[in-house]
Homo-oligomer: A and B are copies of this chain.
Amino acid sequence: MAGTDRNRELITGGPAIILVEPQLGENIGMVARAMANFGLSNLRIVNPRDGWPNDKAVSAAAKADHVISGAVVYETLEAAVADLNFVYATTARPRDGHKPVRGPVAAGEILRGRESAGERTGILFGRERIGLRNWEVGLADEIVTFPVNPAYASLNIAQAVLLMSYEWMKSGLSHPHETAFAKAEVEPAEKADLHGLFAQIEEGLDARGYFRSETKRMKAVDNLRAVLTRPGFSTDEIAVLRGLFASFDKFSRSGQRKAAEAGDEE
């Protein structure tokens, strides 16, 4: 989806994303991209299988260069988390143990709170096929797990990073449900405008003999007013509708007999 605005300030900072022994450069690049999408920039890599730097990571990163060039490689997980205050381990399923298990929303909020309080935080992601080993999970403070389909739970590393990065970004929005996307619903017009639309349509129908009797007229008018009232049309929307009916009312199908005489359409 296009939409990058290079004039906007790049959002950086936030929790460190720590990849433990990733195998494919492509995945590392996609992780960088997911991080950049949601304002994270601190990438740490423990023992990447194919070494570092990695050309495939760079090309898969789709210009998330600031993340790739800032990535730091560590020989051990202990070293990669040494300067952090609080660490999550991501796992596909909750594991037995004494650590709290959070969903991504709660984890995003907890990370936000700790970062705001001046702590340094991080999130561990395991290898492509086997995830994190138990002793690696043991180095984390809490576990975060994803609400995946139990029968199809093969979330890859970049997807898992994407979801956590997204929840991190969301946790920083003041009203995550809506305000960030503030866009008023349509503001309904004053009723006088709506009544003008009624009058225009009803007059046009009257002039065409649309209403067969006064009883039928009342019912039909009730009906059309109900249909036109329910949406809460705005002033602009009413203007568009009035224009449409006016065109149908005033102009004939050019060069054609009137359809009423021709009777050629249903």
A interface residues with partner B (beta carbon < 8 Å): 1-11, 33-34, 36-39, 62-64, 90-94, 98, 100-103, 105-106, 125-126, 129-131, 145-157, 159-160, 162-163, 166, 169-170, 173, 176-178, 180-181, 183, 185-186, 201, 204-205, 207-210, 223-224, 227, 230-234, 236-237, 240-241, 244-245, 247-254, 256, 258-260, 265
Contact = CB atoms under 8 A, between A and B. Distances in A.
Contact of A169 (B34, B38, B148, B169): B148
Identify the interface centre among A33, A64, A150, A233: most chain B CB within 10 Å of its CB: A150
Given A162-B162, A259-B249, A157 B1 contact: yes
Nearest to A98: B186
A152 B4 CA distance: 5
Contacts of A247: 204-205, 208, 210
A1 B170 CA distance: 23
B93 A3 contact: yes
A146 B265 CA distance: 47
A62 B159 CA distance: 14
Nearest to A247: B210
A33 B154 contact: yes
Given A101-B183, A207-B256, A149 B39 contact: yes
